[in-house]
Homo-oligomer: A and B are copies of this chain.
Amino acid sequence: MDFDFNITIVGLGLIGGSYAMALKNLRPKNIWAVDIDQEAIDTAQQLGIIDKGYIDPKIPLKNSDIIILCVYPNKMIQFIKENKNYFKKGAILTDTAGIKEKVIKEIEAVLPEDIDFIGGHPMAGREYKGIGFASEDIFKGASYILTPTQRNKAENIVCIEELIKKIGCKNIMKITPKKHDEIVSYTSQLPHIIATSLVNGAKKEDTINFIGGSFKDATRVAHMNTSLWTELLIENKNHILDKIIVFEKEIKKIKEALIEKNQNSLEGLFESAKQKREELI
């Protein structure tokens, strides 16, 4: 199948690097990268996962059919504002950021009419950051959320969907940017808050030799890219604060069952969670 595009990746971190690896296998016409860090560019060139990397984005942007933005949300908005006049006519932009509504609103407000931005969020990642941990495998079988808007051209959405399928993702879901932000606040951002709180509340001397699988698993994502997650959570704070309340209400039900020593109520809560988890996962 034809994959006759010039592609530029903006940001050679974990996700950008992984994207470059996965796309290089598809043999596009050219794959370029932009990064402010010459070392990341050198690494990517040495790995052979990009044809050429640039500090100055103007050169690759003017010839790129597809641009994949893999930088923090606010940096991405800034990048597009600064470079909006250098994109090739008809270019398709997509991103990988974990928040969508604000990002898309700000980008659509400044983007020239003939440039399309289609929001994307791979449900993939690792607890480490940087190109050194990049792997094309992170996309294999992963779910991928797209948040197209009325402004997007149908054929461009299809093009990005094809690209996502080719790098190995399954279950491509299309929802609104707002719905995206609401959903991930529960399924992804809240678990990070829980992991952090569970670790921070632990008395070190009481915990260190007594950790079982349940604590280990519940706190795995406390090892996160802290600056990225700080930005994601603050930008999505309204949804998150709502979802924390939902979670706290469930904790309260268990507390009440414990205080009342209400065995039926407690076992009912456990049974419903057990069954629901089997349905969900």
What residues of chain A have their CB less than 8 Å away from a CB belonging to chain B? 123-125, 143, 145, 171, 173, 179, 182-184, 186-188, 190-204, 206-224, 226-227, 229-231, 233-234, 237, 240-241, 243-244, 246-251, 253-255, 258-259, 261, 263, 266-267, 269-274, 276-281
Contacts and interface: CB of A to CB of B under 8 A. Distances in A.
A227 B267 contact: yes
A207 B193 contact: no
Nearest to A193: B254
B204 A280 contact: yes
Contact of A269 (B200, B209, B237): B200
B196 A254 contact: yes
- Leading 7 A-B pairs by shortest Cβ distance: A197-B250, A191-B214, A226-B270, A196-B273, A199-B273, A230-B267, A222-B273
A101 to B, nearest CB: 15
13 contacts: A123-B210, A123-B211, A143-B212, A179-B206, A186-B207, A190-B198, A198-B247, A200-B269, A201-B247, A211-B280, A222-B277, A233-B258, A244-B254
Contact of A244 (B208, B247, B251): B251
> Which of A190, A253, A273 has the most B CB atoms < 10 Å from its CB?
A273
A3 to B, nearest CB: 27
B220 A217 contact: yes
A216 B258 contact: no
A191 B173 contact: no
Given A258-B240, A263-B234, A270-B226, A195 B214 contact: yes
A270 B217 contact: no
B263 A224 contact: no
B187 A212 contact: yes
Nearest to A231: B263
A204 B183 CA distance: 11
Contacts of A173: 209-210
Given A195-B214, A203-B186, A209-B143, A241 B258 contact: yes
A193 B237 contact: no
A227 B271 CA distance: 9
Nearest to A251: B197
A224 to B, nearest CB: 6
A246 B198 CA distance: 9
B200 A273 contact: yes
Given A187-B215, A200-B250, A208-B279, 4 more contacts: A123-B210, A200-B253, A231-B263, A234-B266
Contacts of A269: 196, 200
